Structure 1
Amino acid sequence: MPTELSPIDTAKFVAAKQACEYVESGMKVGLGTGSTAAWLVQCLGELVRDEGLKIQGVPTSSRTAKLARDVGIDVITLDEAKWLDVTIDGADEYDSELCLIKGGGGAHLQEKVVATASDRMIVIADASKKVDTLGAFPLPIEVLQFGARTTEELVVETLRNMDVLGRDVSLRMAGDAPFITDEGNFIFDLHLKRIGNPRQMSLALNQIPGVVENGLFIDICDVVVVGHASGQVDVRDITNGTSEVIRFDVQDDENIFADLAD
C-alpha cells in the first residue's frame, strides 16, 4: 500500500497504534469490526509477526475473523475464551460519558456481547466521532426477520414517547436486498438526530419483541483513544478519571505505514 495516508486514516492508525499498548502476551482480546478496528487488527498482527506477541483474538464479525487470521492472530470463539482481558473496538459516536453508538458495520450484537464479556473495553476513534449528544448517527437495531414489519411498527410507536428530534426508521439494505447480519437478522436504522436519554432509549428498545439488540453501549466503555491527523492521540480513562496526550511523529518516518496492508 502507499506510505502516505489520508488525514482520517492517519488519525485512525495512530489511535490503533496507541491502543496496542493495552495488549500483552497471554491475553485474550476482543477484536472489533469496522475501519478503525481493522487498523488495530493489522497493528496487532505486526506485533505478532515482528515482536513475538502471543495473543488469542475473539473477532466480532466474520470480516474481522478473516482479517485476523490473514495477519497471523490466533482466532478463537468467545465460548472457547469464556472471558476476555480486553476488547478494542471503534465507535460511530461517543459522548462525554463514553456512551456510544455502534453498529454502522452491522456487527453491534456480537460487539456488545464480546465487550460485555471483557475486563475492559477500549474504544479507538478519530476526533470526528466525539459528540455533545448522541443521535446524529443513525441508531441501528438488529431485529428478527420473522415479523420484521410488525417489529418496525412497535419501534415507531415506542419512539413517540422518547426524547428525540427524529423518528424515521429505515431497513438497512445491501444493494437491492436487505442487509443480513452474521446472525441472519435484519437491521433497522433509527434516524433520531438527537437522543435525549440514551439509557431510557436502550431499555425501551430492548423490551420490544423482535428486537434482538440495539447499538447503544451504555456503561461498557472504559477508555477512549482518539487519534488526530497530526499524530496526536488523546487518551481518556473514565474509570481512573485520567487524561493523557501522546504524540506520534508521522512526518519523519516514511515507513511508518509500510507493513500495513490496506
Structure 2
Amino acid sequence: MQDQITIAKKAAGEKAAEFIRPGMVVGLGTGSTAYWAIQKIGAMVQQGLDIKGIATSEASAQLAKELGIPLTSFAETQRLDMDIDGADEVSERLDVIKGGGGALLREKIVAFHSKQLIIIADEHKYVPTLGNFPLAVEVIPFGWEVTNSKLQTLGCVPTLRKKQQEIFITDNGNYIIDCAFGKIENPQQVHNALHNIPGIVETGLFVQMAHTVVLGYEDGSTKVLQR
C-alpha cells in the first residue's frame, strides 16, 4: 500500500504532466517525485502524445526509454518548452534547493534552457526559508580537500557525500559536498559566494528559476503556485 508521502509525490508529478502540450520538448527531472511525472508522461505518450524529452540524469534517461518516451539532446535542440523537476526544499519566494539525488548540474543546465520550469514537491518540502536541507555543491575531484576547507569559511558545515562507504560520483564524474548552512536568508548571495570558489562546478540553489510550483498533499490533492 502506498504511504501518504508517495501519494503526495504522485499527485504533484501527475498534475505537472497536465501542463504538457503536443510538440513540446520537455525536461525530465530526477528523483522520487520526478519519477511519477515521467511515469505519467510515458502513459500520455502511449496514448499518442507527441513530445520529446531531455533527461537530467542517466537514471531518468533509462526510465524514459523503458516507457517509450522519445529522447533528444542539446545537439538537436537549443531550447526546451518546459522542464518538470523535483525539489528538496521550496521557499515561499519559490526559491529551490535541489541536488539530494546528485543530478544538480544537469538539472540546472536543463532548467536554465527551458522556457518554463515547473517544480514538483510534496507538501513537506514547502518551507518559509531555505536551509534545513543541506545544500548540495558539485565540485571537481582535483583539490576537493581545499575546496572543502574554503567552504567552511562561508559559515557552513561541509560533508563529502558518500554512498555505501565510497565517495559518491555524479554522472559528470564529480564529487558532491553537502553544506549545512542552517537558514539561508539570501540564497542569491550564498550562490554567488560559492561560485567565487575555484573547483565548485555548480550549486543546488535554484534562485528565482521556478515559474510554477505544484505541491502534492497526502490526501491526493494539489496546489499550484505561480511566480
**Alignment TM-score, normalising by the size of structure 1:** 0.85
Q: Which runs of 4+ in 1 moved over 3 A?
A: none
Cα RMSD after superposing both structures: 0.9
**Conserved 8 A contact 1:87-1:121:** yes
Give the percent of matched residue pairs that are identical in Structure 1 and Structure 2: 45
2:205 counterpart residue number: 216
1:184 and 2:173 equivalent?
yes
Determine the C-alpha separation between the residues in 1 that align with 2:146 and 2:75.
33
Quick one: which amino acid aligns to residue 18 of structure 1? K
Determine the C-alpha separation between the residues in 1 that align with 2:168 and 2:75.
26
Larger radius of gyration: 1
1:68 counterpart residue number: 64
Identify which of 173, 195, 211 aligns with 2:162: 173
Determine the C-alpha separation between the residues in 1 that align with 2:197 and 2:31.
27
Identify which of 67, 82, 88 aligns with 1:86: 82
Q: CA deviation at 1:7?
A: 0.8
2:18 counterpart residue number: 21
Quick one: which amino acid aligns to residue 203 of structure 1? N
1:228 and 2:217 equivalent?
yes
1:204 and 2:182 equivalent?
no
Determine the C-alpha separation between the residues in 1 that align with 2:117 and 2:75.
18
Determine the C-alpha separation between the residues in 2 that align with 1:119 and 1:10.
28
Deviation by residue 1:236-257 (Cα, 9 ceiling, x = unmatched): 111xxxxxxxxxxxxxxxxxxx
1:42 counterpart residue number: 39
1:97 and 2:93 equivalent?
yes
**Conserved 8 A contact 1:78-1:114:** no
Determine the C-alpha separation between the residues in 1 that align with 2:131 and 2:6.
24
Q: CA deviation at 1:213?
A: 0.3
Correspondence 1:98-113 to 2 at 5 A: 98-113=94-109
Q: CA deviation at 1:153?
A: 1.2
Q: CA deviation at 1:17?
A: 1.2
Determine the C-alpha separation between the residues in 2 that align with 1:152 and 1:14.
38
1:164 counterpart residue number: none
1:194 and 2:202 equivalent?
no
Determine the C-alpha separation between the residues in 1 that align with 2:136 and 2:110.
18
Counterpart secondary structure, 1:202: helix
Q: CA deviation at 1:22?
A: 1.0
Quick one: which amino acid aligns to residue 52 of structure 2? Q
**Alignment TM-score, normalising by the size of structure 2:** 0.98
Q: CA deviation at 1:78?
A: 2.6
Structure 2 unaligned spans of 5+:
none
Counterpart secondary structure, 1:48: helix
Determine the C-alpha separation between the residues in 2 that align with 1:62 and 1:43.
19
**Conserved 8 A contact 1:29-1:55:** yes
Q: CA deviation at 1:79?
A: 2.9
Quick one: which amino acid aligns to residue 33 of structure 1? T
1:133 and 2:124 equivalent?
no
Q: CA deviation at 1:24?
A: 1.1
Determine the C-alpha separation between the residues in 2 that align with 1:21 and 1:81.
23
**Conserved 8 A contact 1:15-1:124:** yes
